[in-house]
Amino acid sequence: MKKFDFLILGSGIAGLTFALKAASHGRVAIVTKKDRAESNTNYAQGGIAAVTSKEDSFEMHVRDTLTAGAGLCKESVVRTIVEEGPARIQELIDLGMQFSERDAPGEDGGRELDLGKEGGHSKRRILHAKDMTGREVERALLNAISKQPNIQIFENHIAVDLITSRKVGLQDGNRCLGAYVFDSKSNRVWAFTAPVTLLATGGCGKVYLYTTNPDIATGDGVAIAYRAGASIANMEFVQFHPTCLFHPKAKSFLISEAVRGEGGVLKNLEGREFMDAYHPLKSLAPRDIVARAIDSEMKKSGSQHVWLDITHKPAPFIIDRFPNIYRTCMGYGIDITKEPIPVVPAAHYQCGGVVTNVDGETDIAGLYAVGEVACTGLHGANRLASNSLLEALVCAHRAAEKALAGTMQKTDAKIPLWQSGNATNADELVVVSHNWDEIRRCMWDYVGIVRTNKRLARAGTRIANLQGEIQEYYWNFIVTSDLLELRNIATAAELIVRCAQQRPESRGLNYNLDYPHPNPAWAQRDTVLRK
């Protein structure tokens, strides 16, 4: 058993920010399932939305967020996050984060931050580090963490399940005492205990066959919290990024929305712009509308992709503003300064998740959730671009303050040792890989950008069958990372389908042909699931 004051599951922006704030108050364990930098954060390109210019205002950022959220955001949460953004950005800069600056000096002759523009934002307000913002965030935070002797990082450790007082038979409600954690190098399961546990495990893009997310995004946090009895909400709102590179050899490479923000236009395979038929903002319409428009164009023409064209901009500008996208596409033989980029939509962001307030508190005492794993009410039915890094920064700060202000209830309870099956059967490993593929394809085909009641019912039945098989396998065989992740993507898939089935309307990212319009009775109503 390993005892700490703070147990943090995940080393993206949410987990690392919380860790830095907690470190001066106790011993911190960061448990992370791969290398410490491997996270969705590390791949964020566009940037962080925050009001930092005179032409912008909190009111405008709030309004843009509410508009994208299609009537489901919690306005008080939106206000808090938007208004506290600039202070948190300043902290990142103080830690050494280097945002891109404008070439020309500002009015007072000093350097000014360069502000990008993305879909749904009425002003330029995206702080970025070229097109590698997330990498720079991870670098700055991990560098600061390396100077904190109170923080210990456990790489290649995957959280399996939470340890709760209910599970160990204590009579004090349902309090989180820590987590069972699988060390994938030694193949051992450890019990980590702490009075405060933070879920910062990110999203669930890997539930879908095509995704912009890296392999870590298997919905572990949502599945773990659900099994422990926490409320989960709004999982039907999966954001599909409209523009993922379409190339047989490219695995989940995103073409940032900022490319459209800087003038890139979407065209069909005949070279004709099509977004004017779908929305007045054309290629810069909110993401759900752009993704559905591309889906519809592809279905109409039978094509496998559409084009994103930025060739009308000067080549030096493109190369300087998007060095990572330029280099990566070049690697696949596509010169984006001379030819359009083939793109398709792909699963990108989980707007729902573990229900929390703006301080990251869940309905299990001692358990906090922050970042993509959480559902605070900021995003509503559709996330405004670049609001997720902002949410993680602000809520991690608030969660740390809340945890530090509370009484940290330590436990002397006897934690039972981990029990697992001990059978090994290499022949049966095919069950794991087959079920992985089946869930991801089923979700893509039946629970994707456009849904129907029939498709949801089909998906629900198939996933329930697969879960039966996975459960049997889980209890009989020795655990592996693949098996743990499979069990979690199956649960995340189940939660997405059940939430989508509960919502009898189309709103934001949940588009169901059987109810093609929003139902006013469902405005401000979340779909909440609890075990």
Is 354 a residue that touches ligand FAD (CB under 6 A)? Answer: no
Identified binder of ligand FAD from the candidate list 164, 388, 435, 527, rule CB under 6 A: 388
- Strand pairing partners for 238? 350
Binding range to ligand FAD, per CB under 6 A, among 50-58, 196-204, 274-282, 466-474: 196-204
Q: What is the DSSP string of 440-500?
A: HHHHHHHSSSSB-HHHHHHHHHHHHHHHHHHHHHHHHB---HHHHHHHHHHHHHHHHHHHH
**E-assigned strands of 201-321?**
232-233, 238-245, 265-267, 306-309
Kindly tell me which of 18 and 446 has the beta carbon lying closer to ligand FAD. 18
Q: Min. distance of Cβ 485 from ligand FAD in angstroms?
A: 8
CA–CA gap between residue 216 and residue 220 (Å, rounded) = 9
- Of residues 42-71, which lie at the interface with ligand FAD (CB under 6 A)? 43-48
Q: Identify which of 32, 81, 29 has the alpha carbon closest to the alpha carbon of residue 388.
A: 81
Planar angle of CA 321, 258, 218, nearest 5 degrees = 115
Residue 388: strand, helix, or coil: helix
Active site residue 287: yes
Identified binder of ligand FAD from the candidate list 371, 377, 448, 508, rule CB under 6 A: 371
CA–CA gap between residue 49 and residue 383 (Å, rounded) = 12
Using CB under 6 A as the binding criterion, the count of chain residues that bind ligand FAD stands at 41
x-or-dash pattern for ligand FAD, window 324-353, by CB under 6 A? Answer: -------------------------x----
x-or-dash pattern for ligand FAD, window 242-271, by CB under 6 A? Answer: ------------x-----------------
x-or-dash pattern for ligand FAD, window 119-158, by CB under 6 A? Answer: --------------xx-----------------------x
Q: Min. distance of Cβ 137 from ligand FAD in angstroms?
A: 8
Torsion angle (degrees, nearest 10) of CA 87, 90, 91, 92: 130
Identified binder of ligand FAD from the candidate list 174, 212, 231, 411, rule CB under 6 A: 212
DSSP category for residue 187:
T
Q: Which of 36, 287, 292, 503 is catalytic?
A: 287
Q: Identify which of 115, 122, 114 has the alpha carbon closest to the alpha carbon of residue 65.
A: 122
- Strand pairing partners for 342? 307
Kindly tell me which of 44 and 456 has the beta carbon lying closer to ligand FAD. 44
Identified binder of ligand FAD from the candidate list 184, 201, 239, 512, rule CB under 6 A: 201
**E-assigned strands of 310-441?**
341-350, 353-355, 367-369, 374-375
Binding range to ligand FAD, per CB under 6 A, among 35-43, 403-411, 489-497, 514-522: 35-43
- Of residues 275-294, which lie at the interface with ligand FAD (CB under 6 A)? none
Catalytic residue list? 287
Q: List contacts with ligand FAD (CB under 6 A).
A: 9-15, 31-34, 38-41, 43-48, 133-134, 158-159, 200-202, 212-213, 216, 220, 254, 349, 371-373, 386, 388-389, 392
